[in-house]
Chains A and B, each alone.
Chain A
Amino acid sequence: MLVENVLNGDAESFTPLVRAYTPPLYNLAFKMTGGGESAAEAVQETFFRAYRDLGRYDGRARVLSWLYGICVNVCHDAGKRSRKAREREEPIGDGPGESLAAPGPDAEETMSRRQEEGRLRGCLQRLPGTLRAALLLRYQEELPVGEVAAQLEIGVSAAKMRIRRGLEMLRGLCSEGPRGGTP
């Protein structure tokens, strides 16, 4: 096991983990933070913390699930730090919908899908971080509810509650219609 190797002194064994798990962590961090540069920083900080605390990893959760938990905490911390700074800046509009992967075959269909997706991303950004994390772990990263609970360090019932409330709040935000760009 790679983690075992690292703890036994083979630090290079951590590199394949970084290569394998950077994409899913970046995806989570991007949607948690809503931006490219801060997402990359969050992934870097996640691996730093994981490497530092690797000795405390007890193998009960999958390595990726454990990393998700760290990543969510990193994003929460970053959000708290930057909230004040962000408030001083201008609103970014509906930026989170911009950098999308893989364009579809049909331009029009792709366009409307992008708009729809951009709107959902915008609404997602307006959710409280705790609810956003629960929804992303459950539906984007497809973790079972038990693992969502474990990585958010809450009970299964509380995780279900956050997922339910997240969906309800998201429904409310999406039905309000697009709003991000208005001054």
Chain B
Amino acid sequence: MTDTRKRPAPQDDVRGLEEGLRALAHDVPPEGLAERIAGDLRALPPPRRSPLLRLRELLPRPAVTWAYRLATLLLLGGILWGVRDLVSVRRRSETAPGQAPGVSLVSGGKGPEAPSKVRVTFVFKAPEAGSVAVAGTFNDWDTAKDPMSRGKDGEWVLQMDLAPGQYEYQFVVDGTRFVPDPNALEEREDGLGNANAVLRL
């Protein structure tokens, strides 16, 4: 039915491309380019240190280091506080019917404490697709690691157990085409003209 007999695995293709890119010959600048640039730069006014960096240099090194550490701690504390709220909001919303987008959640914990893993079901409808996978921050955007199974009516399904946290993902159709989750509750620009679905657990 399909023509997969002698074709190399997708990851082998990719490895070959990685090697090909590494092996591309280095392009050499025309003779005298560096000297010409250096000469042109001499005509410019000398650069000045930015006032912010100058201030940082005036402060003793340990003070700067401790200021960074303190700021990081405060930031982490704020994030943890926010995540705690979100998890509890999500748990409450799980019980509400009609909330299921392309992803449905089943908490793996018992009692009020946060679960160590959360079962997530990805669902994507693509009757015309030959294969669908999920790629995201949970698998380093690997397009081959988490393939979905074809269900009835052209629905592709995959269950995963993920640690609580925030993830971004897209569906990968036929190995190369990235498709945003049409049912995502939250999206974030991926910088390439598409939107990653945001999953908060």
A168 near B14 (CB under 8 angstroms)?
yes
Q: Inter-chain contact count A-B, CB under 8 Å?
A: 141
User: Interface centre among A55, A99, A117, A135, by most B CB within 10 Å?
Assistant: A55
List B35-63 residues whose CB lies under 8 Å from chain A. Answer: 35-38, 40-42, 44, 46-50, 53
A58 to B56, CA, bound (A): 10
A48 near B24 (CB under 8 angstroms)?
no
A40 near B30 (CB under 8 angstroms)?
yes
A39 at the interface (CB under 8 A from B): yes
In the complex, what's the smallest C-beta–C-beta distance from A163 to chain B, in angstroms?
8
B13 at the interface (CB under 8 A from A): yes
B192 at the interface (CB under 8 A from A): yes
Q: In this complex, what residue of A is CB-closest to B13?
A: A171
List of B residues within 8 angstroms of A44 by Cβ: 33, 36-37, 40
B124 at the interface (CB under 8 A from A): no
Which among B25, B47, B140 is the interface contact of A7 at CB below 8 angstroms? B47
Contact-residue bracket for chain A = 35 or more
A175 to B3, CA, bound (A): 15
B183 at the interface (CB under 8 A from A): no
In the complex, what's the smallest C-beta–C-beta distance from B165 to chain A, in angstroms?
12
In the complex, what's the smallest C-beta–C-beta distance from B94 to chain A, in angstroms?
26
A66 at the interface (CB under 8 A from B): no
A2 at the interface (CB under 8 A from B): no
B14 near A31 (CB under 8 angstroms)?
no
A6 near B24 (CB under 8 angstroms)?
no
Which among A18, A52, A161 is the interface contact of B37 at CB below 8 angstroms? A18
**Known A56-B50, A101-B27; further 6 A-B contacts with Cβ < 8 A:** A27-B26, A40-B29, A47-B41, A120-B21, A131-B192, A157-B168
Interface residues of B, Cβ cutoff 8 Å to A: 10, 13-14, 17-18, 20-30, 33-38, 40-42, 44, 46-50, 53, 135, 137, 140-143, 168, 172, 175-176, 178, 190-192
